[in-house]
């Protein structure tokens, strides 16, 4: 355990950020699974709605520094292509 006050604070801050990152990743994965399920089921209306939500969540992950912007662009392109092939 750290003895210095600033080191103790960094431990607390890092835990909080790790929890936030974990939450954002979990939400992103959940929305992606729902989108993929809608595409597999052929539900175009639901898939269109979820595509917007997936793009929003990916952008939020980039804003929080969880995903790289190029990784996000690749994911959004992949989802759009999957939706357009329906």
Q: pLDDT by residue (tens digit) across 14-55?
A: 999 999 999 999 999 999 999 999 999 998 999 999 999 999
Give the Cα separation of 10 and 3 in Å (integer): 12
In a domain, 52, yes or no: yes
Q: What is the pTM (predicted TM-score) of this model?
A: 0.83
In a domain, 12, yes or no: no
In a domain, 29, yes or no: yes
User: What is the number of structural domains in the chain?
Assistant: 1
Count CB atoms within 10 A of the CB of residue 72: 19
In a domain, 67, yes or no: yes
Average pLDDT value over all residues in the chain:
94
In a domain, 62, yes or no: yes
CATH assignment at residue 60: 1.20.58.110
Could you tell me the residue range of the domain that residue 38 belongs to? Answer: 24-84
In a domain, 3, yes or no: no
Q: List the one residue out of 28, 33, 31 whose CA is nearest residue 63.
A: 28
């Amino acid at each position: 355990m750290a003895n210095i006050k600033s080191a103790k604070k960094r431990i607390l801050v890092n835990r909080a950020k790790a929890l936030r990152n974990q939450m954002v990743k979990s939400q992103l994965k959940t929305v992606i699974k729902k989108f993929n399920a809608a595409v597999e089921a052929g539900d175009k209306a639901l898939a269109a709605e979820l595509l917007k939500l997936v793009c929003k969540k990916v952008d939020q992950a980039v804003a929080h520094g969880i995903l790289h912007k190029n990784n996000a662009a690749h994911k959004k392109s992949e989802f759009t292509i999957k939706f357009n092939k329906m």
